[in-house]
Amino acid sequence: MTTERFTFLMRLSSTLVLWALMLTTVFAGWEIGFFALLGFMALRALWEYYRMLEVDGIAVFTLTGLICAAVLLFGGFWFISREGPENSMDFELLVPVLFLLTVFTRQMFRGASDDPLRAMSYTVFGLLYIPWLFSFVTKIIYLTPRLENGMTTGQYYVLYLVAVTKFSDMGAYVFGTLFGKHPFAPHISPKKTWEGFAGALISSLLCSYWIYALMPEKLSLFRFDDLTLLGLGLGFAAVIGDLAESVVKRGAHTKDSSTMLPGIGGTLDLIDSILFTAPILFFYMRFVLGAG
């Protein structure tokens, strides 16, 4: 078995296991379980980000950052699940203020440091890049009304988001491996090609139509034009999200955020594209479709 085929099979196996967890929580309508899965992934990804920097000799406030992230994730879940996205704006404005206040306070009690601004900048960037962007996944859950029995309905839009994003990732990998000849962004990731980029858009677009065809009643906000725009838009954002993490890893001089997931790497490697696609879907549903 070739190295490329082995990597593909390991990547596929890891993805299928994670999909099984996602589908179980989605169709069970278990809010706490769904949020626990999302919260674990966000905190684990943030820890991997800080760990990469520490291994590269860059000082960051890991514990402070993780505590701030937990406040953002759990506080945001509490407010949004009860008040809805439209009425949780005050908390959203409070969070970055608390980030800055906490990190500056931590620096004051840290003592002498060769580069305090660098440590604070990397810490706050991690908070905004991972848990804040990933929190839009939770927001999407509460954009649509609950059923009469109190069960949420937004989790099906999260399932749509994850499916389109992951099909974009897989399409880029498969098309790039089979047909890739022309580099897309060699200064960031030498293996990314224009053929892979085309495969990402094609795969995400087809998946957008396919997921809607499987459960049109669960995705009733969407129309054909929405499926086309979102399929292409989320596919593009997924590629940018993947490249963004490549920039982070190149800056930290590492290949993968961790080795937790065979064939994929770490949790950050798993959710990097969703960090960019989740806000796109949220704001499209809010401002174009009028949800929430």
Q: Is the pLDDT of residue 257 over 70?
A: no
Residues 164/211, Cβ–Cβ less than 8 Å: yes
CB atoms within 10 A of CB 118: 14
Average per-residue pLDDT for the chain: 85
Residue 150 has pLDDT above 60, yes or no: yes
Which pLDDT score, from 0 to 100, does residue 187 have? 78
Q: What's the pLDDT band for 145 if we cut at 50, 70, 90? A: confident
**Which amino acid type is present at position 250?**
R
Q: What is the arithmetic mean of pLDDT over 114-126?
A: 85
By the 8 A CB rule, do 35 and 78 touch? no
Confidence of residue 112 (pLDDT cuts 50, 70, 90): very low
Q: pLDDT tens digits, residue range 64-86?
A: 999 999 998 998 888 888 877 76
More confident of the two residues 17 and 175: 175
CA gap 236, 245 in Å, rounded: 15
What is the structure's pLDDT at 5? 63
The pLDDT of residue 97: 87
Contacts of 219 (CB under 8 A, 6+ apart): 156, 157, 160, 211, 212
Where exactly are the structural domains of the chain?
Answer: 3-288
Residue 265 has pLDDT above 60, yes or no: yes
- % the chain with pLDDT above 90: 41
User: Pairing mode, if any, of strands 183-185 and 189-193?
Assistant: antiparallel
Answer whether residue 15 shows pLDDT above 80. no
**Least confident interval from 3-7, 156-160, 223-227, 281-285:** 3-7
Alpha-carbon separation of residue 89 from 76, 82, 95 (angstroms):
10, 13, 10
